[in-house]
Amino acid sequence: MNAFPTRKRPASTGRGFRSSDFNYSKPTTSRTPSNWRERLPSPRDYYAARIEKLSRPNAAGWAQGRCPFHEDHDASLSVNLTAARGAWRCFAGCGAGDLVSFHERLRGLGFVEAVRDLVGVR
């Protein structure tokens, strides 16, 4: 199974992927770009697209929304929209982590697969 992310196919987003974004001299299937941290989506964009009922962030950048990891009727999940790593914490007990760990859990991926998915590399 080699499922490509359902959204954000580089060819159709018009986001201006340059050929220099990819290293064609080596198979990208076996490598994660060394600058992957810089290429992660911003926590603001990432979480806004995936969390229901996301509130406006407070002065420290924390916003609350529905946790996708449990049957959440309140806004148990806090995410940081400004910190570089996009910290998250579920106050109902689902845990905490950063943007990559959130994506791992949301998609059921391992770390490397989650990073590749986030930066748009197969």
Contacts with Zn ion by CB under 5 A lie at 67, 69-70, 90, 92, 94
The least CB distance from residue 119 to Zn ion, in Å, is: 26
The least CB distance from residue 88 to Zn ion, in Å, is: 10
Which of 16/93 has CB closer to Zn ion? Answer: 93
- Pairing mode of beta strands 77-80, 88-90: antiparallel
Look at the block and give the residue holding tokens 């962030």: 57
Which of 36/69 has CB closer to Zn ion? Answer: 69
| Distance (Å) of CA 74 to CA 67, 78, 92, 93 | 8, 11, 10, 13
83 burial class (0-12, 13-18, 19+ CB within 10 angstroms)? Answer: middle
The least CB distance from residue 89 to Zn ion, in Å, is: 9
Which of 18/73 has CB closer to Zn ion? Answer: 73
The least CB distance from residue 76 to Zn ion, in Å, is: 5
- Pairing mode of beta strands 88-90, 62-65: unpaired
Which of 48/92 has CB closer to Zn ion? Answer: 92
